[in-house]
Amino acid sequence: MLELYDQAQAAAEAIREQWDLTPRAGIILGTGLGGFADRIEKAVVIDYEKIPHFPRSTAVSHRGRLVCGMLEGLPVMAMEGRFHQYEGYPLQQITLPVRVMKSLGSDLLIVTHAVGGLNPYYVPGDVMIIDDQINLMGDNPLVGINDDRLGSRFPDMSAPYTPELIAAGQAIARREDFPVQRGVMVAVTGPNLETRAEYRFLRQIGADVVGMSTVPEVIVAVHSGMRVFGLSVVTDMCLPDCLEPANVEEIIAVANSAEPKLRALVLGILAHERSKGK
Amino acid sequence: MQEVAQQITAAAAAVRHFWDVTPRAGIMLGSGLAGLADEIAVEHTIEYSDIPHFPRTTALGHKGHLTCGRLSDVPVIAFQGRFHLYEGYSAQQAALPARLTRALGADTLIVSNAAGGVNPRYAVGDVMVIDDHMNLLFDNPLIGVNDDNLGPRFPDMSSPYDRVLMEIAIEVARRADFVLHRGVYLAMLGPTYETRAEYRMARHLGADAVGMSTVPEVIAACHAGMRVLGLSTITNVGSPDAPNGTSGHDVIVAAKLATEKVTRIVQAVVASLD
């Protein structure tokens, strides 16, 4: 882990050469949510290839560029395209962008991703504010010798998602008059979807939704001392006793249809940040 | 796994070079339990760097040396500092101390660790004798081509922890009048402490305590046909419905509170080996 500090510094330097504002938030846009970046004003777009130590994104509907600019009056940097464990990347590499966000001065990470719903009260198109997470990826981005410049050896995980922002997110949804869920996300490696038996198992250990990302980035954000706000978009329901084959096009279409709610929540959280004047 | 036997032979030869006694037991000292080593009449201390194939320990509260001497007049070796998967070591490396213990001629392994209590009846400073364990490390020290000289391909795990040694531990606690739980230890990778959702999962799966070590050593010990006693010190309580933060420092302070209890149990168990 000792090379990460220098890698993050080098990547941050390359970004600063093109965009010299201090981001108030780093945003990771998940499957089907890439269009969101078009709302960023005065955008400086940097392809991942141009940033040292950044991997390439290979996943469907993930583009692979960093969009820096103004959103809701605040400087932000948004990742269009993220990296997944199932693409073969080590977790330390997947999470490097979060360390770069921190190096550039952001103390808030906003993560979004598409998930399968396990909680039977959820419906496709629902947005869930992530309350907590379970790591079943069999790996952790902090494995290795700890670099104390980056964070502590044993980060506390009693509240990885900032409770104040969870409450703010719920208030935004009430104000905008749409339902929002709040629950537990479990991350697995993928890339295969789960069997019916695995869905039963994940529900039984306490998960409301299941996905193949986000947990590594959130662990690194907590390690870095960042606050975190996480949103899951329920793109299909994983009910083991009436399971239908998953269809990737349909999943992406549902994710796109949830975009207005997601937008309201992300913009609302940024407005909340701005009003705090921090 | 074919190279493990050679590594162990070399490591054992190095230890014998310094201390040519056959130990009856190997003791793994977990976070904050180094105080137990003070009870050993030390005959020799060997730095891990002087033992071939031994990695360096990088963990907080762990030194890196092997203490050779007598506890309750019984020859023992005590590992001060263990290797964790979260440090980047493989399960096979984490299991080296257990294999070295066996190679030196001991047939008993005593493991201790610091763990988070998920059983609501456990309090900070309590000690739990490990009745059984669950492996959620996503690794196993026996992965690879099996070396039949070290043990069987498919070791039985129906009772990895020795019942007789467990009974001795329980008797010691009863006579000394302190609480000793008996429960299931769940090993997770770390180094992050568990989220509330993960604590709920651990409890739901049947765990009483959660930690980041021990299971690789115990698997290797079972593979090698050794008897095992396991002791967990409850250094924090994972209470998902009344969350409180955990730090590495708190864990070490709490472990020290329980050192005396662990020491009494280990002394009695070692004495019984004679």
| B191–A143 CB contact, under 8 Å | yes
Give the pairing of strands A181-187 and A74-80: unpaired
Among A60-74, B38-52, B111-125, B141-155, which stretch is predicted with the lowest mean pLDDT? A60-74
- How sure is the predictor about B246, in pLDDT bands with cuts at 50, 70 and 90? low
pLDDT for A32: 60
The domain ranges of chain B are 2-272
Name the H helices within B19-157: 91-94, 96-103
Cβ pair A134, A207 in contact under 8 A:
yes
Interface residues of chain A, partner chain B, Cβ below 8 Å: 1, 132-135, 138-140, 142-146, 152-160, 184, 186, 204-207, 219, 222-223
Nearest CA of chain B to the CA of A141: how many Å?
Answer: 9
HSE-CB at B263 with a 13 A cutoff on CA atoms is 16
pLDDT greater at residue B63 or residue B97 = B97
Residue B114 dihedral angles phi and psi, to the nearest 5°: -100, 135
- How sure is the predictor about B216, in pLDDT bands with cuts at 50, 70 and 90? very high
Rounded to two decimals, the ipTM of the complex is 0.82
**3-class SS letters over A105-146:** CCCEEEEEEEEEECCCCCCCCCEEEEEEEEECCCCCCCCCCC
- How sure is the predictor about B256, in pLDDT bands with cuts at 50, 70 and 90? confident
Q: Is residue A97 reached through a cis peptide bond, with omega within 30 degrees of 0 on the bond before it?
A: no
Domains of chain A from N-terminus onward:
4-276 (3.40.50.1580)
Tell me, yes or no, if B255 comes closer than 8 A to chain A by beta carbon: no
Tell me, yes or no, if B191 comes closer than 8 A to chain A by beta carbon: yes
Name the pTM for this structure.
Answer: 0.87
The tens digit of pLDDT for each residue in B6-29 reads: 899 999 999 999 999 999 999 999
Which residue in A156, A185, A188 has the most chain B C-beta atoms within 10 A of its own C-beta, making it the best mutation to test that interface? A156
Residue A10 dihedral angles phi and psi, to the nearest 5°: -65, -40
Of A184, A186, A206, the CB nearest to B204: A206
B63 vs B223: CA distance, rounded Å: 27
pLDDT for A195: 85
pLDDT for B37: 85
Residue B133 DSSP label: E
Contacts of B251 in chain A (CB under 8 A): 154
Task: Quickly tell me which residue has 């692979």 as its tokens.
Answer: A64
CB within 8 Å of B48: residues ≥ 6 apart: B54, B55, B56, B57, B64, B65, B66, B81
| B88–A219 CB contact, under 8 Å | no
Partners of A189 in the beta sheet? none
Of B59, B191, B198, the CB nearest to A134: B198
Judged by CB atoms within 8 Å, which residues 137-156 of B form the interface with A?
A: 138
Which helix or strand (DSSP H or E) is residue B237 part of? strand B227-237
pLDDT over threshold 80, residue B161? yes
Tell me, yes or no, if B17 comes closer than 8 A to chain A by beta carbon: no
| B58–A145 CB contact, under 8 Å | yes
Contacts of A166 in chain B (CB under 8 A): none
Tell me, yes or no, if B59 comes closer than 8 A to chain A by beta carbon: yes
Cβ pair B234, B126 in contact under 8 A:
yes
B133 vs B210: CA distance, rounded Å: 10
* Mean pLDDT value across residues B88-104: 94
* Mean pLDDT value across residues B95-110: 95
Tell me, yes or no, if B105 comes closer than 8 A to chain A by beta carbon: no
* Mean pLDDT value across residues B135-142: 94
Conformational region of residue A144, where left means phi above 0, alpha means psi within -120 to 50, and beta covers everything else? left
pLDDT for A93: 92
CA distances from B209 to A46, B120, B133, B199, B218 (A): 47, 10, 9, 9, 16
Q: Does CATH number 3.40.50.1580 belong to domain B2-272?
A: yes
Among A58-67, B35-44, B166-175, which stretch is predicted with the lowest mean pLDDT? A58-67
| B198–A135 CB contact, under 8 Å | yes
CA distances from A202 to A30, A78, A114 (A): 22, 30, 17
- State percent of chain B over pLDDT 70: 93
Average pLDDT per 10 consecutive residues for chain A, totaling 278 residues: 90 95 94 77 92 76 84 94 88 95 96 93 95 96 93 93 97 96 95 89 96 96 98 90 78 84 94 83
pLDDT for A239: 87
- DSSP 3-state assignment of A186? strand
**3-class SS letters over A16-56:** HHHCCCCCCEEEEECCCCHHHHHHCEEEEEEEHHHCCCCCC
| B243–A152 CB contact, under 8 Å | no
CB within 8 Å of A20: residues ≥ 6 apart: none
